[in-house]
A = this chain, B = another copy of it.
């Protein structure tokens, strides 16, 4: 059944790419990631919401209580999802091997992140799963995802609510997304899934490596000044996320950064005081 690749090395599901386009869409490669859930009941409710809609990979980042009898009680028939859940110490581990990360957000953040509705997201995620594993993040009950966590998401997913009250319970939010994903599977005819001619996008950890490298080089050049560093890096992330570079392309980009550094420092070596 669902391979538990979440927190182990950069394991990629071999079934991810070609076969899906031929045999019909599936949600197998999708991780539902709950970030620091406080209430074990919500973990159980999420597991049940997932199972009923055909989702299997639950990943818990630093849960307050888990395992917990309340989670088991609320799972009510979906205990297998809880038993195979991956518990991770941090988000990096939870996202390892994923090539696309979606984050749910109640607040309106559309200035900095591309936002889509739950319904739009479902179709997109299903398509992205054709290329490799994906993650869908849900934040803490009270405070949601932090900005640093949202920075790891290429797309924000918004569940439309009334303006006056938009506090969806965590289990309910998982239910709505799981429901939309299941409907997207039902609606998709295999023939309508586009055959991918594009290279598979690089996994998140490779993108993080690139962003770290870029940031480091830009700091050294003086381009990133502390006051605008966060905003600029966020902007650059959005830009490169849209391009969804392949592993090959990430290698080229990093090669450029390395070459630039070498260029800038070859004189430097003679004159170490310069920097």
Contact = CB atoms under 8 A, between A and B. Distances in A.
Contact of A161 (B45, B53, B116, B263): B53
Interface string A132-156: 0000000000000000000000000
Interface residues of A, number: 77
Contacts of A13: none
B256 A218 contact: yes
Contact of A165 (B78, B161, B242): B78
Nearest to A80: B165
A216 interface: no
A217 B260 CA distance: 9
**How many chain copies?**
2
Nearest to A232: B252
B48 A167 contact: yes
A194 B243 contact: no
B54 A162 contact: yes
B110 A263 contact: no
Interface stretch (A29-37, A89-97, A174-182): A174-182
A219 B159 CA distance: 48
Which of A176, A217, A255, A274 is packed against the most chain B CB atoms within 10 Å?
A176
A186 B172 contact: no
26 contacts: A48-B168, A48-B169, A48-B172, A49-B169, A51-B162, A52-B165, A53-B161, A54-B161, A77-B167, A110-B194, A115-B196, A116-B196, A117-B194, A160-B183, A160-B194, A169-B171, A171-B171, A171-B172, A175-B175, A218-B256, A221-B263, A239-B249, A239-B253, A242-B244, A264-B264, A267-B267
Given A119-B183, A162-B182, A239-B243, 19 more contacts: A48-B169, A48-B172, A52-B166, A52-B168, A74-B169, A76-B167, A78-B165, A110-B194, A110-B195, A110-B197, A117-B193, A175-B175, A221-B260, A232-B252, A239-B253, A242-B244, A260-B260, A264-B264, A270-B271
